């Protein structure tokens, strides 16, 4: 998965996205977030899906949508 603007720091870890980031600002880099209202905060989605990071959220959403797509065929 491309990191987009989320580059690694000097320590080799990926910079954490702030919880108050709006989904509308993340949709360009992460199209899977396109189904959510742009005014939604990232921390709201992390809480709703029970994850601690943007990466974990994206993995969970990708898995959810792949499962739904398989069930429709």
**pLDDT tens digits along 17-56:** 788 899 999 998 889 999 999 999 999 999 999 999 898 9
Quick one: tokens of 55? 């990466």
Distances (CA, A) of 38 to 6, 27, 45, 66: 19, 8, 12, 22
At residue 71, does pLDDT exceed 90? Answer: no
Q: Burial level of 26, CB count in 10 A (0-12/13-18/19+)?
A: buried
- A 10 A CB-CB count for 12 gives 6
Give the pLDDT band (50/70/90) at residue 9. low
The pLDDT score that the predictor gives to residue 6 is 56
**Is pLDDT above 80 for 3?**
no
Q: Is the pTM of this model over 0.85?
A: no
């Amino acid at each position: 998965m491309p990191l987009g603007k989320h580059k690694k720091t000097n320590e080799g870890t990926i910079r954490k996205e702030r919880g108050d980031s709006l989904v509308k600002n993340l949709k360009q880099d992460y199209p899977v977030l396109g189904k959510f209202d742009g005014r939604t905060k990232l921390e709201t989605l992390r809480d709703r899906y029970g994850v601690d990071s943007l990466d974990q959220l994206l993995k969970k959403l990708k898995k959810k949508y792949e499962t739904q797509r398989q069930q429709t065929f």
